[in-house]
Amino acid sequence: MERIILDVDGAGDDILAILFALGAPNVQLEGVTAVTGAAGSVEQVTRVVLNTLTLAGRDDVPVAAGAWRPIVGNDPKDMLAPVHFEKRLRARFGDRLSGFNPPAPEPVRQAMERHAVDFIIDTVRSAPGQISVVATGPQTNVAMALRQAPDIAALVKQFVVLGGCFRTPGNITPVSEYNIWADPEAARVVLRSGAPVILVPLDICEDNRVAPSMLTRDDLADLAAGPPGPVVDHVVQTFPIYIDIWREFFELVGFPLDDAIAVTTVIRPDLFTITRPYFVDVALSERLVRGQTVVHRGRQILEFDGPVTTRVCEGLDGRGFMAMFKDALRAVDARIPT
């Protein structure tokens, strides 16, 4: 069993990652922590997480709310850019867009009182060498946990960081990916912590070279053709708009499942092509490149010191992943008591 804490920022693919983690083989989901990110405030993210777990009949999974802002963040105008993007989407999709990241209804239960940072620290300390922290939003919670309790760097099994890009162009600047850009200082803390890190960049999630890993309407048809259940029904109803947006605006063949892919690195590393450890760093200071991930490979004249601890995912067996993904959703439904 792989014991996982999932740290999410509550956008559409985070929901799928939670459902996937609940149904995937060999996963013990220790808890889900929420962080401010792509889907808005940490309160909204927390509600999304709670509602998702309720949908899956798993109100037993601990949920903790975390950071309400990044350590430094970015110019407010830039941080609002995703909102303006949604206006363009509305112009194209009209009312269909109301199903895209909708305001979460009031959940049936509350998150725990403990802060996400304390939940991460306590859980990692309670099971040395066993806990993988899979963070699929900005790295704020993980960085705060490392700053509050530096000892967890030596106790965690690994940090999985969803973020960054190398061959694939960035999605917030030409060279930066949103999660890293949203809190680059936090990402740096994690990458320099000395703990083992697996970096899951855009290259193996949001790039047509890994097209078989993306959710398409064919996949929804597959799910719909199988046994019905609350989770499968929800995904089949909710995600067509996501698929259409990503096809039309990002020119991808389907909706990329970045966050579920990040979870998969822990339980099925054999599905990935992954590098040896490198020192990976983050550019901080110019708007054009803020949040760029830089792998120290090759030979350079200047020296840069940092821990050689981050392995970068470079390839993914998309078909193998997608088969497992759909099986996992069905498995969650099969376990919900009727």
Euclidean distance between CA atoms 285 and 282, whole angstroms? 10
Is residue 154 within the footprint of another protein (CB under 8 A)? no
State which of positions 179-218 bind another protein (CB under 8 A): 185-186, 188-189
Q: Is the dihedral of CA 249, 254, 259, 265 positive or negative?
A: negative
200 has which bridge partners? 162
C-beta of 252: minimal distance to another protein in Å? 33
Structure-token pair, residue 9: 């920022």
Residue 75 touching another protein (CB under 8 A): no
Binding segment for another protein (CB under 8 A), chosen from 52-60, 139-147, 255-263, 269-277, is: 139-147
Buried b (16+ CB within 10 A) or exposed e, 282-320: bbeeeeebbbbbbbeeeeeeeeeeebebbbbbeebbbeb
Of the residues 68, 85, 249, 250, which one makes contact with another protein according to CB under 8 A: 68
According to the binding rule CB under 8 A, does residue 145 interact with another protein?
A: no
Distances (CA, A) of 145 to 7, 56, 57, 193, 220: 12, 28, 29, 11, 38
Contact 329/235 with Cβ under 8 angstroms? yes
Interface with another protein includes 78 (CB under 8 A)? no
- 159 half-sphere exposure, CB direction, 13 A CA radius: 35
Q: Is position 288 an interface residue for another protein (rule: CB under 8 A)?
A: no
Residue 148 sits in the site that holds another protein (CB under 8 A): yes
Determine if 69 is a binding residue for another protein (CB under 8 A): yes
- Decide if residue 117 touches another protein (CB under 8 A): yes
Residue 108 interacts with another protein (CB under 8 A): yes or no: no
Q: Which residues bind another protein (CB under 8 A)?
A: 67-69, 71-72, 115, 117, 140, 143-144, 147-148, 150, 185-186, 188-189, 284-285
